[in-house]
Amino acid sequence: MDRKRKPVRARERLGEYERKRSPEATNEPYGDDVDPGTGETLVGAFVVHLHDATRRHYDVRIEIGGVLASFAVPRGPSLDPDEKHLAVNTEDHPIEYLDFEDVIPDGQYGAGPMIVWDRGVVLYLEGPAEKEKEAGKLHFELRGMKLRGRWTFVKLAKSVKGNEWLFFKKQDEHARKAKNADVDAAPSGEGPRPIIDAMPCSVLSGLTVDELAHKDTIGARHVAQAKKHGAKALRERAILAPTSSPLVTPHASTPTGEGWVFDPELDGLRVCAIRDDDRVALLLYPTGGGPAEAVESFYPDVVRALRALPATRVVLDGELVAFDASGHPNLALLAHRATRVAKGDILRATTQSPVVLIATDLLVLGDVDVRGVGLEARREILGALLPRVGFVRAAQPLEGELDVVLTACAALGVGGVVAKKKGEPYAASSAWHYASSGLAPRSRAIVDHRAGVRETALRRVTISNRQKIFWPDEGYTKGDLVDYYANVADVLLPYLAARPVILVRYPDGIAGKSFFQWNVPVGMPAWVRTLSLEDESGAERRRGFLVDDAPTLQYIANLACIPLHMLACRMADLTRADFFTLDFDVKQSTLRHAVTLARTLRELLAAIGLVGYPKTSGQSGLHVLVPLGAGHGFDTARGLADVLGRALVDRHPDIATVDRVVGRRGTKVYVDTGQTGPTRAIVAPYSVRAVAGATVSTPLAWDEVTPDLDPRAFTIKTVPARLAKTGDLLAGLLDPKKGPDVAGAVAKLAKLLT
């Protein structure tokens, strides 16, 4: 083999993946440029998906050279080395697919639900995976949550299509004979079952592949169960952002009498885990009091799993734990993780020392407060909500005589147990005791997130592929885009602050495919905030990003987001618009006519006591933005825009139309008044457009709105210098003191038109 051969770029290896999918129609990740490295993969990540497509199958995906080599295995993995299952080598998938769990929409390639059945590390045992795969055999060790030990893919010499392989377990201590069961017989006496039947659930959401499409129903069922046990409506919102620890502290005294369950002390970190829609927090409370330390940015795998749960709101009491190779909790490994993440290689860190959250209690679920419910019922709900095997899992408490439990703990090297009284509500700390197993106290490793927190506080974003050409005609690069957004951050950010921003990504520049970012990108730093939005039909959830600071702006620029679209409302109230927009679309007309119409609009607005701010759309047209002060309902905002649009057509019937049917517009300017609404986004001021020239949507002074205006003159290369001269010409849009008399304006407008 020619060792000097240039490694194939990961992006090119995703060609078949991209050809099979329409990024705007599927919810699957499209993939970023990944450094293919040296072409010698010895260790990587793996995922096994269970995919209920036309035919149900398992997809075994192992990282090779920055992408996921993928094998469809209809019968799935078996722990019996004699069970050699057919595996069809399919197209390479982007590394982001490690985290993909969703229902692929009808009509798309691979339509149907897909769960993350297993995740972990793959170690190639006989040399670089690239070389092995080419030779038609891959020997590797899996360190997953379900699959462990040595495995093999062997290419079938007689394969007609050339893509047929066999997948099977190698003999080792993790192998099981099928006739003896893959998994030891369940205590319930159900008898032996293969691993795929014994462990059917996702390691992210805990759902089976059949349940995934019914996530909301299942979530509602858990809440109904909690209500049946007496859980009351959640009144105290403070529990979702607690300033002091909401967690019960056990007494250091021996419990007496009957009716206890015991949670073994784990060598981990006790945290309060909170998911409230898109917001996830892992709060660590220092012993002896003090403010919580938010550590979620270190554990994106746990965050991802919390977001996947069939409960949009949940508060858990639990322990963050890293396991060593023999499966024992190891705080030193966790301490290592706390520093590793600071280096920015999140994927590497999460793969090499996975951390899981073991939940011992449930405080909040959906819209109910579970704390008043008795212990056994709380744990029953917790057990139903969380998987036994996964990134967030339910703890398995011990029962029996305290002496027996402690003796068993000592034998296993566990320092003690927390005893919890049956039947008691969560708040009753008198019902919790800590009992030592008598082992000499170990020196606990110190987990110091501070170095990492300092890094996180700096919110460093590493920019990848700066040299990649994004505008082929001009030779402008991704680096030019990132630098432009850094340059204009001070004037741009106030417009985006607390406002949902819709992202469109162009990983290969303006000539390549583009797609809306409706999901949380893999490895997204925890400090990047998002929120779920409904689409126009209310049927689908979309994602808005909150771009409130310069690092977030850099992060999204690095995702190759060229245009930034924003809604006319702020987070605090998504039903109120603080401005409305008239868009003068000149695609079938001329800018000269748009200028005439915009100037007429200015006069109309002045007559009714409103002010309009013009900007270029960044393409060929013009926008006029009209501030509404503290905000008004979208109906009012849209109504004003519509009436003004019709008034413009009345005054200039020869050059203006509000006709929604493109064919009927002729050569008139289309006055689009429909860009204001709870699901409508406009291109933000100072946003770059994904068109030749790298033009920018640029605020204008009214004396620039003349037939001489050249919107193409405002580009990522010219706008920063222009800003230095003109300042932000749109600043008045955001000045609440300039809030207009909207009711007065509506009345005046009615009079003006009659």
Contact by Cβ (8 Å): 453, 473: no
Other beta carbons within 10 angstroms of residue 722's beta carbon come to 16
Other beta carbons within 10 angstroms of residue 484's beta carbon come to 22
Find tokens 């002390």 and name the residue: 265
Residues that bind Mn ion (CB under 5 A): 51, 59
For the bound state, the minimum distance from the C-beta of residue 18 to Mn ion, rounded and expressed in Å, comes to 16
- Alpha carbon 210 to its chain centroid, in Å, reads 22
Closer residue to Mn ion in complex, CB, 114/641: 114
For the bound state, the minimum distance from the C-beta of residue 110 to Mn ion, rounded and expressed in Å, comes to 5
Closer residue to Mn ion in complex, CB, 48/682: 48
Q: CA-CA distance, 216 to 310, in Å (whole number)?
A: 6
Contact by Cβ (8 Å): 307, 274: no
The sign one gets for the Cα dihedral 369, 375, 379, 381 is negative
Contact by Cβ (8 Å): 543, 532: yes
For the bound state, the minimum distance from the C-beta of residue 376 to Mn ion, rounded and expressed in Å, comes to 40
For the bound state, the minimum distance from the C-beta of residue 100 to Mn ion, rounded and expressed in Å, comes to 11
For the bound state, the minimum distance from the C-beta of residue 59 to Mn ion, rounded and expressed in Å, comes to 4
Closer residue to Mn ion in complex, CB, 51/155: 51
Q: CA-CA distance, 150 to 81, in Å (whole number)?
A: 10
Closer residue to Mn ion in complex, CB, 59/141: 59
Closer residue to Mn ion in complex, CB, 59/672: 59
Give me the residue whose beta carbon is nearest to Mn ion.
51
| Size of the chain in residues | 754
Closer residue to Mn ion in complex, CB, 163/726: 163
What is the enclosing helix (H) or strand (E) of 600? helix 591-607
Contact by Cβ (8 Å): 63, 45: yes
Distances (CA, A) of 574 to 18, 163, 275, 681: 35, 51, 21, 12
For the bound state, the minimum distance from the C-beta of residue 145 to Mn ion, rounded and expressed in Å, comes to 20
Closer residue to Mn ion in complex, CB, 51/143: 51
- Pairing assessment for the beta strands 681-683 and 561-567 based on DSSP bridges: antiparallel
Closer residue to Mn ion in complex, CB, 51/119: 51
For the bound state, the minimum distance from the C-beta of residue 688 to Mn ion, rounded and expressed in Å, comes to 36
E strand intervals along 466-575: 469-471, 476-477, 500-505, 515-516, 529-534, 541-546, 561-567
For the bound state, the minimum distance from the C-beta of residue 57 to Mn ion, rounded and expressed in Å, comes to 6
Closer residue to Mn ion in complex, CB, 61/379: 61
Q: CA-CA distance, 678 to 241, in Å (whole number)?
A: 27
Q: For residue 692, give the nearest of 669, 710, 716, 670 by alpha carbon.
A: 716
Q: Which two tokens stand for residue 235?
A: 């009144």
- Pairing assessment for the beta strands 392-394 and 355-365 based on DSSP bridges: parallel
Closer residue to Mn ion in complex, CB, 51/378: 51
For the bound state, the minimum distance from the C-beta of residue 51 to Mn ion, rounded and expressed in Å, comes to 4
Contact by Cβ (8 Å): 484, 466: no
Q: CB-based contacts of 718: which residues, under 8 Å, 6+ apart?
A: none
- Alpha carbon 424 to its chain centroid, in Å, reads 37
Closer residue to Mn ion in complex, CB, 59/480: 59
Distances (CA, A) of 103 to 196, 214, 593, 651: 20, 10, 47, 51
Q: CA-CA distance, 294 to 607, in Å (whole number)?
A: 53
Alpha helix ranges (H) inside 154-299: 195-198, 215-228
Q: CA-CA distance, 153 to 69, in Å (whole number)?
A: 12
For the bound state, the minimum distance from the C-beta of residue 721 to Mn ion, rounded and expressed in Å, comes to 51
For the bound state, the minimum distance from the C-beta of residue 445 to Mn ion, rounded and expressed in Å, comes to 41
Q: CA-CA distance, 187 to 200, in Å (whole number)?
A: 18
Q: CA-CA distance, 298 to 650, in Å (whole number)?
A: 60
Closer residue to Mn ion in complex, CB, 204/723: 204
For the bound state, the minimum distance from the C-beta of residue 147 to Mn ion, rounded and expressed in Å, comes to 17
Closer residue to Mn ion in complex, CB, 106/258: 106
Q: What is the DSSP string of 196-234?
A: HHH--S-TTT---TTTGGGHHHHHHHHHHHHHHTTPEE-
For the bound state, the minimum distance from the C-beta of residue 66 to Mn ion, rounded and expressed in Å, comes to 20
Q: For residue 355, give the nearest of 373, 371, 331, 376 by alpha carbon.
A: 331
Amino acid present at 139 = H
For the bound state, the minimum distance from the C-beta of residue 90 to Mn ion, rounded and expressed in Å, comes to 7
- Grouping H, G, I as helix, E, B as strand and the rest as coil, residue 45 is strand
Closer residue to Mn ion in complex, CB, 60/357: 60
For the bound state, the minimum distance from the C-beta of residue 196 to Mn ion, rounded and expressed in Å, comes to 15
Closer residue to Mn ion in complex, CB, 73/234: 73
- Grouping H, G, I as helix, E, B as strand and the rest as coil, residue 300 is helix
For the bound state, the minimum distance from the C-beta of residue 185 to Mn ion, rounded and expressed in Å, comes to 31
Closer residue to Mn ion in complex, CB, 118/141: 118
